[in-house]
Structure 1
Amino acid sequence: MDENQGTSTAESSPGGAVPSSPSELIEMIGDRCDLSLEVDYRSQTLASPDGTIRVEAQGTLRQSADPEYTADSDNANCVDRPLQTLNRQITIDKPEGKERIVRDDYDQGYVIFQPRSFSADSSYLISEITVGYSGGDAATYTSIIDIAANKELENIVPCRSEDIDDTPNQNLLGFTNNSEVVFDCLYRACLGSFE
């Protein structure tokens, strides 16, 4: 484990949301087009290397039933079901108090935010954003949060493809210094930096 990743805990939270991985959430929701449902999610809590900062994310994933489908329908062709993400927020718990970064609702699919790694000095947080689009595609993006400013700096796509139809796919390997991170891009390592 990267020493900058801190520690994760799986505490329960108000409202019945429990920590789940993106794949567990998608599996829990399933691919039934005839069901309308909402699932509250909460990421695991990630603690900074020095233990003074804790970060978690939460939101609500909503699927609306497609009236053309019933429980007996072949759901394999149900790729255009309406998917939404509501109440997206990131909570940063610091010694001086809690701060929240609230994101707009997203009506094009599911957005699942997972804090992944702190810089050694705990000033930046790298997080993974998994998006399951309503049309059936999925992608993984990387987000950088400035902890002192309590704001998301940018989403980066370190693993780019020449094929315009490819969706981003990268795996965070860790920080090399306080403003540089390394990703694995489908069998090759690449370096990403930010200001």
Structure 2
Amino acid sequence: MPSERLRRAALIKSNLERINPLVGEIQEYLRELTWQDLPLEIEDFDNMTRYSLVLPAHIENNYSTLVGILENETDPNIKKIYHNTIFGDPQEKFNELTLSVQALHLHNNRVHYPGPGLAVKYRNLGLGKKIYKRIIYDRGHITSYDTDTLGVSADNSIESDLIWHSLYNDDEIDCQTDGNKIIAIFAQYQPALQRTINQYFGIVQ
């Protein structure tokens, strides 16, 4: 009869064989989404519009199964293995498939991720860029800059910078910057929005 150590290893292997395909399905779903087809809940407020990702039932079911495996494990060391496989980071919480982005109206549609953003395991799938492009489509343009909404110097997140870099290299998008401020529009609408761009950079015509 195998030792307790080997029985535990067999259980871990069995659970990882359940976990990995579920994680893979979630990642594949997010990777294959286009910006036009993003399932978003859009909420308009006086000072902002909020875009929140709404996951379909089969992805929610995958996620519920993964969380169930975590919650049913009592050994903290094994739980850490499962947690890292699911989220890519042992510090992530159980709600890290949620994702919301705000476009702040009074600040030239400045885009803002409230909270920690998407779990590490579900990044690098183009999802942030797709949401940014959807907001550009809806709002006409989005912006970012190295100060907060009160004008105080602030650092942007690495994740945000990576999305902006990806937008800059997207043929559909025209990104312009003065080194501090960045504005993005769909390239085909650049002539019609030149006045907006000039105003954003304080260019006097």
Class of the TM-score when normalised by the shorter of the 2 chains: under 0.3
The structure in which a higher percent of residues are strand is: 1
User: In proportion to residue count, which structure has more helix?
Assistant: 2
TM-score computed with the length of structure 1 as normaliser: 0.27
TM-score, normalised with respect to structure 2:
0.26
